[in-house]
Structure 1
Amino acid sequence: MTRIALAIDLGGTKIDAALIDADGRVLAEGRNRRPTGPEITPDGLHRAVTEVVSHALAHLPDGARFVGAGIGSAGPIDLQAGAIHPVNMPSVRGFALLEAVRDAVIASTGEFDPVVRLRHDGGCLALAESWLGAAAGARASLSLVVSTGVGGGVVLGGIPVGGASGNAGHLGQMHVGELTVEEIAAGPASVRWAQLQGWQGETGEDLATAAAAGDRVARAAIERSAKTVGQALADASSLLDLEVIAISGGFSNVADDYVDLVGAALREWAGLPYAQRTRVVRSALGGDGPIIGAGALVLRDA
């Protein structure tokens, strides 16, 4: 009998739901999303949760065994309370996301006490990469998104590391000098820095195009971002003895050699041989990593 999980990925612009099978495949029929955004209210988020859950579960294959729901959410989260406190959705801080998903699952399936698990989205990404992606087989790995923000998750011995409240892995909040990694290396931050140097573009895509055409300021902004990420990862690898770091996110595609630049900065900055040996690679799962990892929370009893 095929085991199927419901997976939910909640972010600052959308909530995405899908069915995931035991091999980590996303079943296209049930996948659907609703917008979120910084203005979303608790009532609006509750409606969105109910809608995406009911739509996905309406496409459960005949004869499949439903094993539960996994949720990856923008953080911070409160794992003990099953609540979220997302920085980019201020009106829903404290929202009881786990309870809302459980209620929607019960309404759709009639199950009395479904399994529902919550982690932050970076932790779900890391779990997916260690299961099926670029970190598969690694004893210690970190997966990182470099996009509008910077965040990630850690997996040690096949187990996602949540920490005391479930928020371990927020690498973007580490400091390099007086600023955080996110304040230096994220896409919007890199664009702002380039603009302060006289560059005339407006987006990360503009930055990529300009750098490819030989614009020195655009290229400097990209190298500044990669160096900052690499320095932070050197510290993380020294602390955690990481074997593999997988990088994804829209801004990581700003240059073909972005991941290579991060790896070079890590090796230059790391002071110990074991940290210098950490492999820095591109994600093997692309944008599906967080939702596959959310499904893995119940498929793999993480």
Structure 2
Amino acid sequence: MHTDLVAALDIGGTKIAGALVDGDGRLLVRAQRATPAREDGDTVMRAVEEVLGELTAAPLWARVRAVGIGSAGPVDASAGTVSPVNVPGWRGYPLVARVRAATGHLPVELIGDGVAITAAEHWQGAARGHDNALCMVVSTGVGGGLVLGGRLHPGPTGNAGHIGHISVDLDGDPCPCGARGCVERIASGPNIARRALEGGWRPGPDGDTSAAAVAAAARAGDPVAVASFERAAQALAAGIAATATLVEIDIAVIGGGVGKAGEVLFAPLRRALTRYATLSFVQRLTVAPARMGTDAGLVGAAAAALSRAAGATVAGV
């Protein structure tokens, strides 16, 4: 029996989660801290080191052979640095070197959080058994990752598959990234809610103006809420179809908070895909909701570390 383990870190603007993970993707030991996102970079790193401290103190640590990190981005895997948009204290921060120092200089694999979730969905979730897949996280932002030829395809810096910043509306609204009409500017949760409010939708007595509240209104038949989700679905379909045409994926998996909206999103998305994915080699493209849930980042970071530890694909990753 292969008994080696890997350590996994999932670093976001809200929490820093860590786990020791076996070759079947089971999380055997867990640790977590809140992300001190508004503090300076070294304070954020101390929270990471506290999570690692709990993991290294576990008896199972002796079996750990590598560390995988899935981080909010942008990341630069080639330089070992991270610059998460929602953690302003980290700009070009040397995360890989710091994690190596805290773990006895184990090998460290860094990928973006969208790529990590893609690795998880391909290993154990909705993209399992698919050699060519796009996985998307549609929430506050829109991220993603690619599996091509049966292998995770993070690209040189770890950001490949970042579908949120494909432009699908040439003269559309300016996006914070600097471009115009990006998928994220139309399909992210805050933008779905913004568009609904601008169109005259009003929240219920609880005052909830989230995309989830818009989804509930759309399910109840509110035409403005329905239209906002249809516009988001159209943007997602255009981005997915462009990706499929470029690299021949056969499934797009959608997770994140907006992905949980169900048929309010998926029904218009499937309809829109028939209008955008028209060439013969992309007509069989399917879309599916993500299956991995809140542990996806950890499982995906572990998958990347297992691949590195083995020097090859592991369990189909």
TM > 0.5 fold call: yes
In structure 2, the residue corresponding to 1:176 is in which secondary structure?
coil
Separation in structure 2 between the aligned mates of residue 119 and residue 7 of structure 1, nearest angstrom: 11
Q: 1:159 to 1:95 in 2, by over 3 A?
A: same
Aligned to 1:295: 302
Matched, 1:82 2:84: no
Q: 1:12 to 1:71 in 2, by over 3 A?
A: same
Q: 1:190 aligns with which of 189, 192, 195?
A: 192
Q: 1:175 aligns with which of 167, 173, 176?
A: 167
In structure 1, the residue corresponding to 2:291 is in which secondary structure?
coil
Separation in structure 1 between the aligned mates of residue 154 and residue 137 of structure 2, nearest angstrom: 17
In structure 2, the residue corresponding to 1:69 is in which secondary structure?
strand
Aligned to 2:10: 9
Separation in structure 2 between the aligned mates of residue 129 and residue 51 of structure 1, nearest angstrom: 28
* Structure 1 stretch displaced more, 177-186 or 125-134: 125-134
Q: Is the 8 Å Cα contact of residues 185 and 225 (structure 1) preserved in structure 2?
A: yes
Which residue identity is paired with 2:93? F
After superposition, where does 1:110-129 map in structure 2 within 5 Å?
113-129=105-121
User: Tell me, which stretches of 5 or more residues in structure 1 are unaligned?
Assistant: 107-112
Aligned to 1:227: 234
Query: What is the Cα deviation at residue 162 of structure 1?
Result: 2.2
Aligned to 1:34: 33
Q: 1:172 to 1:84 in 2, by over 3 A?
A: same
After superposition, where does 1:37-116 map in structure 2 within 5 Å?
38-61=37-60, 65-106=63-104, 113-116=105-108
* Structure 1 stretch displaced more, 47-56 or 259-268: 259-268
Separation in structure 1 between the aligned mates of residue 69 and residue 108 of structure 2, nearest angstrom: 8
Q: 1:37 to 1:128 in 2, by over 3 A?
A: same
In structure 2, the residue corresponding to 1:254 is in which secondary structure?
coil
Q: Is the 8 Å Cα contact of residues 17 and 31 (structure 2) preserved in structure 1?
A: yes
Q: 1:152 aligns with which of 144, 157, 176?
A: 144
Q: Is the 8 Å Cα contact of residues 211 and 218 (structure 1) preserved in structure 2?
A: yes
Q: Is the 8 Å Cα contact of residues 19 and 30 (structure 2) preserved in structure 1?
A: yes
Query: What is the Cα deviation at residue 257 of structure 1?
Result: 4.4
Please list the CA deviations of residues 249-299 of structure 1 after superposition, one character each: whole Å capped at 9, or x if unmatched.
011112434234323322221131211211111112122222101001121
User: How many aligned positions are there?
Assistant: 293
Q: 2:259 aligns with which of 248, 252, 262?
A: 252
Q: 1:37 to 1:206 in 2, by over 3 A?
A: farther
In structure 2, the residue corresponding to 1:95 is in which secondary structure?
coil
* Structure 1 stretch displaced more, 234-243 or 86-95: 86-95
Q: Is the 8 Å Cα contact of residues 3 and 65 (structure 1) preserved in structure 2?
A: yes
In structure 2, the residue corresponding to 1:229 is in which secondary structure?
helix
Q: Is the 8 Å Cα contact of residues 18 and 31 (structure 1) preserved in structure 2?
A: yes
Separation in structure 1 between the aligned mates of residue 90 and residue 282 of structure 2, nearest angstrom: 39
Q: What is the root-mean-square deviation of aligned Cα atoms in Å?
A: 1.7
Separation in structure 2 between the aligned mates of residue 59 and residue 221 of structure 1, nearest angstrom: 48
User: Tell me, which stretches of 5 or more residues in structure 2 are unaligned?
Assistant: 173-180, 204-208
- Identity, in percent, stands at 41
Aligned to 1:271: 278
Q: Is the 8 Å Cα contact of residues 222 and 254 (structure 1) preserved in structure 2?
A: no
Q: Is the 8 Å Cα contact of residues 10 and 71 (structure 2) preserved in structure 1?
A: yes
**TM-score (normalizing by structure 1):** 0.91
Query: What is the Cα deviation at residue 194 of structure 1?
Result: 0.5
Q: Is the 8 Å Cα contact of residues 229 and 264 (structure 2) preserved in structure 1?
A: no
Q: 1:207 aligns with which of 214, 222, 230?
A: 214
Greater per-residue strand proportion: 1
Please list the CA deviations of residues 213-266 of structure 1 after superposition, one character each: whole Å capped at 9, or x if unmatched.
221111111121112111110000000100211111011112434234323322
Separation in structure 1 between the aligned mates of residue 125 and residue 262 of structure 2, nearest angstrom: 21
Q: 1:285 aligns with which of 292, 309, 315?
A: 292
Q: 1:261 to 1:40 in 2, by over 3 A?
A: farther
Please list the CA deviations of residues 128-160 of structure 1 after superposition, one character each: whole Å capped at 9, or x if unmatched.
111111111212111100101001000112322
